[in-house]
Structure 1
Amino acid sequence: MGKTSKTTLVVLAFFAIYVIWGSTYMLNKMAVMEIPPFMLAGYRFVTAGILILIIAKILGIPIAITKKQLRNAVLAGFLFLSFGNGVVVWALRFVDSGFAALEISAQPLVVLILMRLLQGKKIQPMSVVGVVLGIIGIYLLVSQKEIITKEGTITGIVVIFLAMVSWAYGSLFVGKADLPSNYFVNTGYQMLTGGILLALISLGLGEDWSSPLEWSGKVQLSVVLLVLFGSIVAFTSFNYLLKSVSPEKVATSTYVNPIVALALGWYFLEEQITTQSIIAAVILLTGVYFINTKKTLAIFERFKR
C-alpha cells in the first residue's frame, strides 16, 4: 500500500471514530429507553460480527484463526464490547447521552496513566498539565447538583468510568496482542464473541428478550445504524488505527465524540446542556489536547532550552 493510500485510509478511519461514534450515544439512548440494554448490545454486536465474517468470506478473505488469536479476540471483545460498551448502554438509562460522552472524553487520561503503570512510559510535563486539567474538568462535570441528584445518576457515572478503564486497557492490549492480521476479520471475531458474552449476561440478568419485529420503527432504525455504521465501519476503523498509530492518538476521538453527542442529544432528545457542563468540557478537552499534541510538547522543549 502506497503512502498516499495509507494516509487516506487513516484520515477516513479517524473520521469514522470521531463523527460516527459521536452519534452512537444518541442512537443507543433512543433504543435503550424501550428495550433492555444488554439485549440491545448483544443483538447489535452478534449481528455485526456475523455480517462482517460473511462479507469477508464473500470477498475471499480467509477467516480461519489460531486458538491463541481466538482467545485474544474473546478478551478484546469483552474489554471493548461486553464490558466497555455494554455497561455504558446500561448507564444511558440514568444519564444523558451527551453527559456520558463527556465523561468518556477522559479516556486519554486513563490511557496515559495505564501506559505509565503497565508499560513504564514516562509522562511528559505537558501531559501532567493535561492530567490536572482533565481531573478538574471531570470534577466540574460530575459535581453538578442538578445532575447527581437524579435517581441512578451516581451509579451511572461510576460504571461509565469503569467501562472507560476497560476500554483504555483494551486499547493497550490490542496494540500488542496476537490477533488476526486482517482488520476486518479481527473486528468480526471481537464483535461476535463480545456480542455472545453480552447475550449471556442479558440472559443471566433475566432481561426480557423480544423480536426486532416487535420494536418501534425508531428503535429498529437506531439498531440498523448502530450495526452498519457504529459497529462495522467505525469499529473496523478503530482496530485499523490501533495497529497504525499510537493508542493515545486513537484516544483523541474523544475530542470530537462529546461535541457530536452533545449537539445530537440537545437537538433530537432535548437534553439540557448546562453552563457548568460547557465549562467542564472546555477544561477537559483542553487537558486531552495537552496530552496528545506534539506541537505543545515542542513549544515546551524550546521554552526549557
Structure 2
Amino acid sequence: MTQPTADTGMPAPGSSGASTAPAGPTAPVESTAPAGPTAPGRRISGAVWGALAIVYVVWGSTYLGIRVVVETMPPFLSAGARFIAAGLILAAIIAWRQGLPALKATRAQLASAALVGLLLLLGGNGLVVLAETAVPSGLAALLIAVVPAWVVVLRRASGERPGLAAYGGVLLGLAGLAVLTVPGLSGDVRLWGVFTVIAATVMWSVGSFSSSRIPMPANPFAASAYEMVAGGIGCLLVGLGRGEQHGFVLSEVSGRSWTALAYLVVFGSLIAFTAYAWLLHSAPLSLVATYAYVNPVVAVLLGALVLGEQLTWPIALGGAVVVAGVFLIVSTERRR
C-alpha cells in the first residue's frame, strides 16, 4: 500500500509513503502541495499524461507485485527489505543531486518522520503484505480504496466539517466495504485477511492524517527516505518477532518473487513516487486525485489477467460501490 496521495489520503502499496502537506483532507507526501497548478483552460501536456499513466498503472500493479513476492518470501521481512532498500537509494539520490544539506532534519522532524513511516509502512503497507498471503490482490486493492472515507471521519473528529457530499461518500464506502467482506463470510477467502486489510486502511489513514500536523523534514523527498527506512526497520523487527526467519531459505526464493521485489523497489517506490511528486506541481490537483479510483480497477484487472483471480459478484459490486464513494469524496474536495 504503499504510498503519497493528493487530496484523498489514498495509499498505494508500493509507494514510498512520503507525507505531503494536504491540499485537501490529508496526504502522505509532506510539503509538496502544488506550487502552481495548471490554470483553468490550460492544455494538459503530454508529459503530464505520461506521468499520470505511470501513477495509474504502476501503483495499481503494486498489489499484484506484493502477491507475487509473498509466494516465496516472508511478508514482513520482504516488506522491510523493500522499504529499507528504497529509502537508502532515495537518500543517496538526494545527496547526489541536491547535496547532503538536503537531508538535514531536526530530532523532532526525524521522530515525526519515523512515526509516520511506522504508521504508513509497517501498519498500513506491512499489514497489506501480510493479508495478501490470504486474500486476492484485487480484493485487497478494493478494500484499501475505502481510505478516503476514514480520512473524512478523522477530519470530522478533529473538528473540521468536510461537507454533506463527503459524508455521502463515506456511507457509500462503508457500504461497499460491507459487501466486500462477503467473500470472507462465505468462506471464499480467509476472513482474517479481509479484516487485516481493513486494519491497514485505518493505520494508513491515521498516518496520513497526522503527517500534516506534526513537524516534518523540509525536503519532501528526504522525509520520504526517512519514513521508508523507519518503516522498513519496523517491518524487519516485526518479521523477526514473528519468527519469519525460521525455515526461510534464501535459495528457495523464486525468480519471479525476486523480480517482483525489485519492481516494487524501483518502480513502485522510486519512479512512480517521483512522477506523483512532479504531478503535484505540474497538473491540476483534481486530475492527479483520479488515481484514487483508477488504481483499484487496474489492480483487479491485473489480478484477473496475470494470476487468474476470480472476479465474483460481491467483489465486483462492492468494488463499484467503494469506487463510487471515493469519486464522490474526491469530486467534493476538489471543489473546496
Q: TM-score range by the shorter chain?
A: 0.7 to 0.9
CA shift at 1:15, angstroms?
4.7
The reply on whether 1:69 has 2:106 as its aligned counterpart is: no
Equivalent residues, number: 294
* Correspondence for 1:93: 133
User: Which of the numbers 78, 101, 104 marks the counterpart of 2:144?
Assistant: 104
Question: Unaligned 5+ residue runs, structure 2?
Answer: 1-34
Please say if residues 72 and 252 of structure 2, whose CA atoms lie closer than 8 Å, have aligned partners that are also in contact. no
* Correspondence for 1:42: 80
Please say if residues 127 and 291 of structure 1, whose CA atoms lie closer than 8 Å, have aligned partners that are also in contact. yes
- Aligned amino acid, residue 229 of structure 1: F
User: Which of the numbers 7, 10, 18 marks the counterpart of 2:56?
Assistant: 18
Question: Unaligned 5+ residue runs, structure 1?
Answer: 299-305
CA shift at 1:143, angstroms?
1.6
The reply on whether 1:267 has 2:291 as its aligned counterpart is: no
CA shift at 1:239, angstroms?
6.8
Taking structure 2 as the reference length, the TM-score comes to 0.77
- Mean CA deviation greater in 278-287 or 196-205: 278-287
CA shift at 1:2, angstroms?
6.2
* Correspondence for 1:255: 293
* Correspondence for 2:327: 289
Please say if residues 84 and 233 of structure 2, whose CA atoms lie closer than 8 Å, have aligned partners that are also in contact. yes
Relative contact order, higher structure (CA 8 A, sep 6+): 1
The reply on whether 1:188 has 2:228 as its aligned counterpart is: no
- Mean CA deviation greater in 213-222 or 73-82: 213-222
- Aligned amino acid, residue 266 of structure 1: A
Looking at structure 2, the residues matched to 63 and 82 of structure 1 have their Cα atoms a distance apart, in angstroms, of 22
- Aligned amino acid, residue 86 of structure 1: G
User: Which of the numbers 124, 127, 133 marks the counterpart of 2:166?
Assistant: 127
Please say if residues 108 and 251 of structure 1, whose CA atoms lie closer than 8 Å, have aligned partners that are also in contact. no
* Correspondence for 2:245: 208
Please say if residues 86 and 270 of structure 2, whose CA atoms lie closer than 8 Å, have aligned partners that are also in contact. yes
Looking at structure 1, the residues matched to 204 and 126 of structure 2 have their Cα atoms a distance apart, in angstroms, of 11
Q: Counterpart of 2:206 in 1: which secondary structure?
A: helix
The reply on whether 1:79 has 2:116 as its aligned counterpart is: no
Looking at structure 1, the residues matched to 334 and 67 of structure 2 have their Cα atoms a distance apart, in angstroms, of 36
**Distance change (3 Å), C-alpha of 1:240 and 1:74:** farther
* Correspondence for 1:302: none
The reply on whether 1:164 has 2:204 as its aligned counterpart is: no
More helix by proportion, 1 or 2? Answer: 1
- Aligned amino acid, residue 153 of structure 2: I
CA shift at 1:69, angstroms?
1.0
**Distance change (3 Å), C-alpha of 1:167 and 1:12:** farther
* Correspondence for 2:182: 143
**Distance change (3 Å), C-alpha of 1:177 and 1:198:** same
Taking structure 1 as the reference length, the TM-score comes to 0.85
**Distance change (3 Å), C-alpha of 1:150 and 1:3:** closer
- Aligned amino acid, residue 108 of structure 1: P
User: Which of the numbers 219, 231, 251 marks the counterpart of 2:257?
Assistant: 219
Looking at structure 2, the residues matched to 194 and 233 of structure 1 have their Cα atoms a distance apart, in angstroms, of 19
Looking at structure 1, the residues matched to 300 and 97 of structure 2 have their Cα atoms a distance apart, in angstroms, of 38
- Mean CA deviation greater in 223-232 or 8-17: 8-17
Looking at structure 1, the residues matched to 333 and 238 of structure 2 have their Cα atoms a distance apart, in angstroms, of 45
CA shift at 1:157, angstroms?
1.2
**Distance change (3 Å), C-alpha of 1:49 and 1:288:** same
* Correspondence for 1:54: 92
Looking at structure 1, the residues matched to 334 and 242 of structure 2 have their Cα atoms a distance apart, in angstroms, of 47
Please say if residues 212 and 220 of structure 1, whose CA atoms lie closer than 8 Å, have aligned partners that are also in contact. no
The reply on whether 1:32 has 2:70 as its aligned counterpart is: yes
Structure with greater Cα Rg: 1
Looking at structure 2, the residues matched to 180 and 186 of structure 1 have their Cα atoms a distance apart, in angstroms, of 5
Aligned-residue Cα RMSD (Å) equals 3.2
Deviations 1:143-190 (A, max 9, x none): 236x74146x21111111111011111112222332122222111111
Q: Counterpart of 2:212 in 1: which secondary structure?
A: helix
Q: Counterpart of 2:309 in 1: which secondary structure?
A: coil
Q: Counterpart of 1:293 in 2: which secondary structure?
A: helix
